[in-house]
Every structure is written in C-alpha cells, then in structure tokens.
Amino acid sequence: MKTLLAREGRGYLIGLAVVVALFVAPLLAIPGLGILPGPTYSAGSMHLMAFTMLMVAVALSYHLIFGVAGLLSFGHALYFGVGVYGLAVVLRNTQLPLLAAAAVVLVIGILIANVLGAISLRVSGISFAMVTLAFAQAGNVLVRRNPGRLTGGEEGLTMATDNVPDLLIGVVNTRNLYWVALITVAVVYVIVAWIENSRLGHNVAAVRENETRVRVLGGRPYLVKLIAFAVGGTLATFTGMVFLLLQSGASATAVSTEFTISLLTMVVLGGVGSRWGAVVGAIIYTLLNQRLNALASSPAIADLPAVLRIPLSEPMFILGTLFILIVLFLPGGVSGTLNRMVGRRRGRHPREALEDIT
C-alpha cells in the first residue's frame, strides 16, 4: 500500500513539475533549437506549444478509452468535433456568453458520448471499432453536407467573436490562449490520473484484462466500460472547445477518421496503457508533423530525385513508416522501451521497473 501511494505521489509530482516548466517556458527568451519557429515568447512558438498541449489533452482522453479500458475506437474524433463545431454553432446562432455556451456544448457532448457509447458497447472487438467508425463517418458527412448552413461545409466555420472576451481573440492574445491550453491539459491530466488510480479505474482495468471473471464476481462490465467511454468522450469535447478558441474556427478535419488515426498513432508511439506514454507520444507526433510539413515544402526536398522527393514530400508517409517501425521493433512504444532499459539497468524484472515509473 505504501509503495502504491509513493508511486502515485511521484506521478503527481512529475505532473506538477511539467506544468511548472510549461508555465515558465514562454517567459524565457530561449531559441527554439530547430523545433519551435522562433523564440519561445513569440506568437508562433506559443501557438505551436498551445496546439501541442491540446493534442496532448485529446490524446489523454483517447488513452482513457484505448489504453485503460482497452476499447479500440475509430470514432473518437467525433466527440472532439462536437466541442469544436458545437461551440462554433452556439456562439454564431445565440447570444449566449462564452462560458454559458461552453456549458451547453459540454452537456450536449456528455449526452452524445453516453448515447453513442451505450449503442456501440452492445458489441465488442472489431465490431465495436466498426460501429464507432460508422458514427464518426456519419458526423463527418453531416459536417460536410452543411445542413441548414450551420457547419460551413468544406470551407469550415469561422468563430463568431461577439460574445467572446477580447483577451481570447486574435494573434495578439496568443499568450492568453497558451495559458488556457495549459490549464486544459492540466485539468484533463488530473482527471485521467484520478480515474486511473480510483476504484473505477481498477474496475476498468479488471474488465479489460478479464471481462468474464468480473461478471462472474458480480461486477457490471458494460456499465464500467460505458463510464470510461463517456468520460473520454466528454474530455475530448472539452478540449475541442478550447481548440476552437485557439484556431478561431472549425474545419471538417476535426471530425475526420484521419484525426482518430492520429490519436491512435500518438498513443501507440508513446506506449499503450501508459499515461505518460500518451503525453510523450502526442508531443513527438505533433512536433514531427509540424516540422515535416515545413520540410516537405523546403527547397532541399524539391531538388531531390523523384524517388526520394515524392515520399519525403508526404509527411503522413514518413509518420506512417515511423509507426510501423515502432510497432515492429519497439513494442510498448517510447515508455515501454524506457521501462525495459531502466529495468535492465537496475537488474530487475521490467514489470517491477514499470511499476516504479508509472
């Protein structure tokens, strides 16, 4: 019991240290070292850091569903899109202030996550994945068809700013949006960590490992999985609303299957089942995606022979190759690899090292 409490205490201390580091980073005039597009206090760098933190937050929400509950969902982007488009539509078509509009959208997100989760969880395995994919595709089609001119179709939807505080609008207020993104990722991380270490989290893990045994012992696997699914979807909706503020608009990519695949890649890259793996995977994936996009349009790539220029000009090709290599040669992702290295260094079984780190 003492060991468990010590591990939890260390985990929260590490989280606090990361939050403090993120809080201090924009105040330091440190060059980006090839990762950020300028000094850390510039609008471009702060926007990239805020964007990365929001990707960390939505990856953590997916980690709760996939890594903790073991549910392979191909529709998680739908709940993120509910936050993005829901807040954009409410702000554009009502006179509600920002917080009231966000509360309305959050309630809608909770309802959608519970209803669709209740339907999807009637099946399991590949069937569950396909049902979630079908719901996500339906949402994507709905957004692109632009019913009642609510969603803007392929062109997306610009955020109405009449009822949004001025300090959250425009490039000039990127620093304020950075703090909002920081608070968002901190809130999501604390909620996910609390659920994982709670009795509910232990029940979710037990259902993931052996659902039949939990049922025989009198548990309710369906309800446990539904709660995990609904909480993950709600956190994604919450993050989506902040994403709208950061981007000042909504686009159909927010509800695309490609975005869910990106979340899956983040979690696998960092290590399935590891909370810190989801954080690290999201950071690596997002920064790589940003820098690879810049690399693809650089003159250095344009001057290469076609056999090299064509694949290197497609960031998703490179990221896909990286994903395949990690699955083949680094099982457990970044966190699993580090755990094994630490376990060998200490001369203990890797599982013992994993317990100490996570």
Indicate whether 238 and 352 sit together in one domain: no
Q: Are residues 277 and 203 in the same domain?
A: no
Q: In this structure, are 162 and 246 located in the same domain?
A: yes
- For residues 106 and 238, the answer to whether their CB atoms sit within 8 Å is yes
Q: In this structure, is residue 115 part of a structural domain? A: yes
- Residue numbers of the domain that contains 202: 44-255
> Residue 312: inside a domain, yes or no?
yes
Q: Are residues 314 and 268 in the same domain?
A: yes
For the chain, which ranges sit under pLDDT 70? 1-41, 342-358
Map residue 59 onto helix, strand or coil.
Answer: helix
Local structure of 157: helix, strand or coil: strand
Specify the pLDDT at position 20. 55
pTM (2 d.p.): 0.83
Residue 36 lies in a domain: no
Q: Which of 255, 288, 321 is the last residue of a domain?
A: 255
**Predicted local distance difference test score (pLDDT) of residue 355:** 44
Listed residue (95, 106, 348) closest to 237, CA to CA: 106
327 shares a domain with 243: no
Of 232, 255, 278, which marks where a domain is finished? 255
Indicate if 286 and 244 belong to the same structural domain: no
pLDDT of amino acid 4: 44
DSSP type of residue 158: E
> For the chain, what is the radius of gyration of the CA atoms?
21
pLDDT at 35: 46
Asked if residue 263 and residue 246 are part of one domain, the reply reads no
| Among candidate residues 223, 240, 255, the one where a domain is terminated | 255
pLDDT of residue 19: 52
Encoded tokens for 305: 């022979």
The total number of structural domains that make up the chain: 2
User: Six-digit token pair at 253?
Assistant: 């990519």
pLDDT at site 344 = 58
**Same-domain status, 144 and 247:** yes
Same domain, 145 and 165: yes
b or e along 270-283 (b: 16 or more beta carbons within 10 Å of the residue's beta carbon)? Answer: bbbbbbbbbbbbbb
SS3 content of the chain, % helix, strand, coil (to 5): 80, 0, 20
Domain match, 166 and 229 both? yes
Is residue 149 domain-shared with residue 166, that is, in the same domain? Answer: yes
Residue 18 resides in a domain: no
